[in-house]
Amino acid sequence: MSELSYAHGTGGTALLGDTIGANLERAVAAWPEREALVDVPSGRRWTYAQFGAAVDELAYALLASGVAKGDRVGVWAVNCPEWVLVQYATARVGAVMVNINPAYRTHEVEYVLNQAGISLLFASLSHKTSDYRTMVEEVRHRCPELKETVYIGDPGWDALIRRGTPDLRGELQAREAELSCDDPINIQYTSGTTGFPKGATLSHHNILNNGYFVGESIAYSEQDRVCIPVPFYHCFGMVMGNLAATSHGACMVIPAPSFDPAATLRAVQQERCTSLYGVPTMFIAELNLPDFAEYDLSTLRTGIMAGSPCPVEVMKRVVAEMHMEEVSICYGMTETSPVSLQTRRDDDLEHRTGTVGRVLPHLEVKVVDPVDGVTRPRGTAGELCTRGYSVMLGYWNEPEKTAEAVDAGRWMHTGDLAVMREDGYVEIVGRIKDMIIRGGENIYPREIEEFLYAHPKIADVQVVGVPHERYGEEVLACVIPRDPADPLTLDELRAFCEGRLAHYKVPSRLRILETFPMTVSGKVRKIELRETYAE
């Protein structure tokens, strides 16, 4: 009888029982003189001793402003040092930090302010076309619980800091003594494809341990310097980036307020970073810079690629040309803090591109039949579920939606279709909702995308299903060409697939695009491609 698609992560390292504040204090005591945070755009730097003092200073200010344990404090800002200070200071006083996507417009931010009951908001002044002050003014009168907004880079920030004084140290220590590692500490709104987003509520225990074990998997130490071009408002930035760094005494390096491929590589070179993060589209943008070869990236050792599957050709170049021999692939979701599966430092190229790794220590994963919930045999597709310390406390004030996602056995249902191999490594073959059903055949877009990446005229590709009268759905390939002056034709595409892909998987439609619609966290919005080209 075939082994079942179930795996439990064992490991010699125990879970941390700390709060985030206590863990940071331990790092400050261990590595006071090592750099903790560098903001490349402004040139500002903090050692661990200075960073700990700056976090305390903001924590005193929050106490002086009347922020109570459990109060919700919002952060609506691009990547900057103040974002990181708010992350750790709110944890120290036991407030719940609410991450707000910088791309949100007024109706979305109004929804989050009210749904979470945010009383204090930290916001950027502006970024690109967003004027945050104007948007806050527009919705403020409809958000009765919002008492104060503090703008980063405005005199209001300094005025807030001046409210706090060191004589509040005793009060801060008393507050910290009341905190449990299981307290809610963070609400992250996950982008729903329909309706308003849901607020995944995470504890100290959830995110501190997840950051710590992600860092352990790639052997972080106080010698590491981590370049973080991914957004802080997302788990990728604030957990896998910030918390992985501070729990190991490593340095957080901010290359730019939002992703800029040239600024990212400049930061790696200037700050001698050992680790670089990104979603595959970010690495593709960096590799495609005209002057890519001129950057000195020789200090890089590792990094994390996550958010969507990594094409084989991209991974080969990241390892060979960016010196990231120990680069790791992570899989997860906001509701699981986020990472549940990760490749290891010494995994071969095939495991790093064909799978999303194996289960992390202290977690469980299984692959089940999406209809009846029975665990599938290894090697067969089903829905991936995960259980353990990382599973969220629930969706903020939405018990019904929580019950739909987390079952009675405390398994989080991911909505992803996966196959667990005999060796325990897991392949993601698609979203349950992305699967194309053509004339009764199940088609996984990921498989076709991987195949098409090898075409010399294709720089990037996304495959989606669009309606078809006879077959129900047909396969559409959306392609960004390597050379816009010499785009691919449908005939060339079909000839490339002929005899190498099953006939029903060969795209019957082709769209040549300049860019893909993206979320701010760098994921392609397949739903938008489907809707745009459904006709």
Q: For position 476, which CATH number holds?
A: 3.30.300.30
- Residues with Cβ within 8 Å of 288's Cβ and at least 6 positions away in sequence, in order, are 261, 459
Other C-beta atoms lying within 10 Å of the C-beta of residue 445: 24
* CATH number of the domain encompassing residue 44: 3.40.50.980
Tokens of 211: 């950051």
> Final residue of a domain: which of 152, 180, 208?
180
- Answer yes or no: is 174 within a domain: yes
Q: What is the pLDDT along the chain (535 residues), one digit of tens a residue?
A: 789 999 999 989 999 999 999 999 999 999 999 999 999 999 999 999 999 999 999 999 999 999 999 999 999 999 999 999 999 999 999 999 999 999 888 988 999 999 999 999 999 999 988 899 999 999 999 999 999 999 999 999 999 999 999 999 999 999 999 999 999 999 999 865 456 789 999 999 999 999 999 999 999 999 999 999 999 999 999 999 999 999 999 999 999 999 999 999 999 999 999 999 999 989 989 999 999 999 999 999 999 999 877 888 899 999 999 999 999 999 999 999 999 999 999 999 999 998 999 999 999 999 999 878 999 999 999 999 999 999 999 999 999 999 999 999 999 999 999 999 999 999 998 888 888 888 878 788 888 998 999 999 999 999 999 999 888 899 999 999 999 999 999 999 999 999 888 888 999 999 999 999 988 667 889 989 999 998 7
**β pairing state of 251-254 and 35-39:** parallel
Number of structural domains the chain divides into: 2
Radius of gyration of the chain (CA): 23
CB atoms under 10 Å from CB of 68, counted, come to 12
What pLDDT does residue 441 have?
A: 80
Closest by CA to 297, choosing from 319, 280, 330, is: 319
DSSP run (H or E) holding 261? helix 261-271
pLDDT at 143: 98
Cross-strand pairs, 6: 366
Is 66 within the bounds of a domain?
yes
pLDDT of residue 193: 46
Is residue 302 included in any domain, yes or no? Answer: no
Domain of 94?
A: 20-180
Give a yes or no: residue 222 inside a domain.
Answer: no
CA 446 – CA 465 distance, rounded (Å):
12
Distance CA 419, CA 377 (A): 9
Helix (H/G/I), strand (E/B), else coil: 28: helix
List all residues 6 or more positions away from 385 whose beta carbon is below 8 Å from its beta carbon. 365, 366, 367, 368, 407, 411, 412, 413, 414
3-state SS, residue 204: helix
Q: Model-level pTM greater than 0.85? A: yes
Return the closest-CA partner of residue 175 out of 55, 90, 50, 86.
90
**Helical H runs in 65-168?**
81-93, 106-116, 132-140, 155-163
- Cross-strand partners of 226: 252, 275
498 exposure class (CB count in 10 Å sphere: 0-12, 13-18, 19+): exposed
What is the pLDDT at residue 502?
A: 82
Expressed in percent and rounded to 5, the helix, strand and coil fractions of the chain are 35, 25, 40
Q: Is residue 359 part of a domain?
A: no
| Interatomic CA distance for residues 62 and 8, integer angstroms | 41
Angle at 52 between CA 46 and CA 55, to 5 degrees: 100
**Quick check: is 477 in a domain?**
yes
126 domain residue, yes or no: yes
The answer to the question of residue 322 being in a domain is no
**Quick check: helix, strand or coil at residue 480?**
strand
pLDDT of the residue at 440: 78
- What's the rounded Cα separation, in Å, for the pair 386 and 404? 14
pLDDT of the residue at 521:
67
Q: Which uninterrupted H or E stretch holds 8? A: strand 6-8
**Overall size of the chain counted in residues:** 535
What's the CA gap between 82 and 337, in Å, rounded? 22
Of 134, 157, 180, the position where a domain reaches its end is 180
Residue that finishes a domain, picked among 132, 157, 180: 180
- Containing H/E element for 96? strand 96-99
Q: What one-character DSSP code corresponds to residue 360?
A: P
CA angle 310, 312, 314 (to 5 degrees): 70
